Amino acid sequence: MSAMEKRFDISEFVDTETEQSVLADLVKRERQRRKELRLTQKALSVRSGVSYASIRRFESTGDISLSSLFKIGNAIGCLPDFNELFKSKKITNLKDYEA
């Protein structure tokens, strides 16, 4: 069981996104993409310039610097995905909601 799985997360009981659940999903998607590309953690380290220890830590605990996450995203062809961060409009009034 990884360190991420040992933490209590309210999303296990209520259908809501939490920092822990979003991070766990991010790690899962990164690992899946790495494996689709047939890259080991060591090969990803070489390709991205991120240390092997940092990649191992990220995949086991979710802990990583933003710059290292960018490097990994670039190495696995996902750098453009970062452009979608903070783009969703904050809804503060039901009149603002477009279905």
Tally of structural domains, the chain? 1
pLDDT at 49: 98
The average pLDDT across 86-94 equals 78
74: Cβ contacts below 8 Å, ≥ 6 apart: 48
Q: 5 pLDDT exceeds 70?
A: no
Measured between alpha carbons, how far is 38 from 18 in angstroms, rounded to an integer? 30
Measured between alpha carbons, how far is 71 from 75 in angstroms, rounded to an integer? 6
Give percent of the chain with pLDDT exceeding 70: 80
pTM score above 0.85: no
pLDDT digits (tens, 9 = 90+) for 59-68: 999 999 999 9
Measured between alpha carbons, how far is 76 from 62 in angstroms, rounded to an integer? 17
pLDDT at 52: 98
pLDDT bracket for residue 1 (50, 70, 90): very low
CATH code assigned at 71: 1.10.260.40
pLDDT bracket for residue 31 (50, 70, 90): very high
Q: Which structural domain range is residue 74 located in? A: 3-96
In this predicted model, which residue has the larger pLDDT, 31 or 11?
31
Measured between alpha carbons, how far is 73 from 89 in angstroms, rounded to an integer? 24
Average pLDDT, the chain: 87
Rounded to an integer, what is the distance from CA 17 to the centroid of its chain? 14
